[in-house]
Structure 1
Amino acid sequence: MKPHLKQWRQCMLFGIFAWGLLFLAIFIYFTDSNPAEPAPSALSFPETRRLLPAQGRQRAIMGAVGDSHDAVLRFNSAPTRGYEKDVGNKTTIRIINSQILTNPGYHFIDSSLYKDVVLVAWDPAPYSSNLYLWYKKPDYNLFTPYIQHRQRNPAQPFYILHPKFIWQLWDIIQENTKEKIQPNPPSSGFIGIIIMMSLCDEVHVYEYIPSVRQTELCHYHELYYDAACTLGAYHPLLFEKLLVQRLNVGSQAELHRKGKVVLPGFRAAQCPEPSSRDARS
């Protein structure tokens, strides 16, 4: 593939968000209680300069650093209580996979982890599945707890990602590697990074790409060890991280010492137009 065409195709990622705000507005099912629709501004950070999707696999950062950011994204069931010195206390958005909603062990309906924040849920649909078929047969039935939560918390912003959005991200990852990737959806980490890049001027990511402190500990809040949490087994983690590393505009020293990646928001991206010659290649 010609370099200019490849660069243009990489920038198709940005084009996702021309329609991708659908993932912020879609409600797959509206309840009879007709809850108030959250204001779009709840997920807008036009003046953002420092963002932290903070969910390192190690106790990696000082809490004061995390809380100094304009917005903080956390993942799944990651807590802050008891870990404030390392990960801070602030949570703005929490992205959760469908298992969090359906597994009783996570106490989704009544846990304080999922209150007073913006929630974004996702469920892996087959690559070619349409919206109706996915709604009828999701991987995990997130819709029932979604409805229950909306009825109990009508003013809380709670969104479900369109499955097509997930697979468009997978397409971008595949287009940026020569290896054939298994058709499994991207990780919550990668999805969260892209969401924050669409909302913010600058995004800081910690320990998504491991630093010199790397261990096989999966999460800072669980004593569970597995190298697959870093390198990937189901999700294409290795390829996600290689792509994020290419996008990094931060220093290599901070990447090495802190696992810190600095990413520009999509508003700051400049995508070249493909020439007619490249388009024919």
Structure 2
Amino acid sequence: MITSSSHLLGSKLGPVIDQAECVIRMNDAPTTGYAADVGNKTTFRVAAHSSLFRVLRKPQEFVNKTPDNTIIFWGPEGRMQKILNKVIQRAALSFPNVSFFVVTVERMHQFDALFRKETGKDRELSRSWLSTGWFTMGIAIELCDRIHVYGMIPANYCIRKSRAHKMPYHYYEPKSPDECVTYIHNEWSKKGYHHRFITEKRVFAKWASLYNITFSHPSWN
């Protein structure tokens, strides 16, 4: 499972990642120009509704780059059913080499229920958006006997006194906001809906021993 974190820059992990049986990427994180650090192989891509058009606008990067590719889209019920499902159906006809899937309404509710079970918080009442990382981790747990996650920071990373210098949120967007500023703002903001990245990572740490999950770059040990 390859995150979009800039922690992967300079890692030279590409050859190791490409040797994995299954490589799962997220949203519109590219490999072109970054293969030395993040690899080229993509087995599954889990993408939010907000990334749909960015993915489909670059078929040479996200759709046609590998001979066998599966893209799983998730999104709010209303938005998906009104517009995006039709776009995905047309894309499936245009790119027969790719398997397109959409997370169903029932499965979306299951992911909400899982968040409530693991955190004690109702997603709607706590004004939270689940992240693509949450969906990707849930899907990976169902698919894989063991999972190696590259580039994901632990829940306490942003409060460590020894934390390294500021790092862009995305490895492919050097001018993107600082990773920790983004995490802390989303975790504690009370206005509107936000991803609860730090809360989710506390859950992932709990799941690590249950589902044979390893985290590196940085290590969670």
Query: What root-mean-square deviation, in Å, do the aligned CA atoms of Structure 1 and Structure 2 show?
Result: 2.8
For 1:198 and 1:107, locate their aligned partners in 2 and report how far apart those are by CA, in whole Å: 24
CA 1:213 to 1:247, structure 2 compared with 1: closer, same or farther past 3 Å? Answer: farther
Q: 118, 126, 144: which is aligned to 2:70?
A: 118
Partner of 1:244: 204
Q: What's the counterpart of residue 193 of structure 1?
A: 137
1:108–1:114: 8 Å Cα contact kept in structure 2?
yes
Specify whether residues 136 and 65 from structure 1 end up closer, same or farther in structure 2 by C-alpha distance, changes over 3 A only: closer
User: What is the CA distance between 1:144 and its match in structure 2?
Assistant: 3.0
Q: Give the whole-Å Cα distance in 2 for the aligned partners of 1:167 and 1:213.
A: 38
Contact 1:75 1:94 in 2 (8 A): yes
Q: Which runs of 4+ in 1 moved over 6 A?
A: none
Compared CA separation, residues 170 and 237, structure 1 to 2 (3 A): farther
Q: How does 1:95-106 map to 2 (within 5 A)?
A: 95-102=46-53, 106=54
Instruction: Identify if the C-alpha distance between structure 1 residues 200 and 214 changes in structure 2 by more than 3 Å, giving closer, same or farther.
Output: farther
CA offset at residue 188 of structure 1? Answer: 0.6
TM-score normalised to the size of structure 1?
A: 0.60
Deviation at 1:111, TM superposition (A): 2.3
**Given the superposition, is the C-alpha separation of residues 101 and 261 from structure 1 closer, same or farther in structure 2, using an over 3 Å criterion?**
same
Q: Distance in 2 between matches of 1:168 and 1:228?
A: 30
Q: 1:59 to 1:135 in 2, by over 3 A?
A: closer
2:149 aligns with 205
More strand by share: 2
CA contact (8 A) 1:118 1:156 kept: yes
What is the CA distance between 1:178 and its match in structure 2? Answer: 4.7
Q: State the TM-score, normalizing by the size of structure 2.
A: 0.74
The unaligned stretches of length 5 or more in structure 1 are: 1-52, 126-132, 263-281
**Contact 2:4/2:151 (<8 A) preserved:** yes
Asked if 1:54 corresponds to 2:14, the answer is: no
2:180 pairs with 1:235: no
Q: 3-state SS of the aligned residue for 1:176? A: helix
Mapping of residues 15-164 of structure 1, within 5 Å: 53-60=1-8, 61=11, 62-102=13-53, 106=54, 108-115=56-63, 116=66, 117-125=69-77, 136-137=81-82, 141-164=83-106
**Unaligned runs of at least 5 residues, structure 2:** 158-162, 187-193
How many residues in Structure 1 have an aligned counterpart in Structure 2?
A: 193
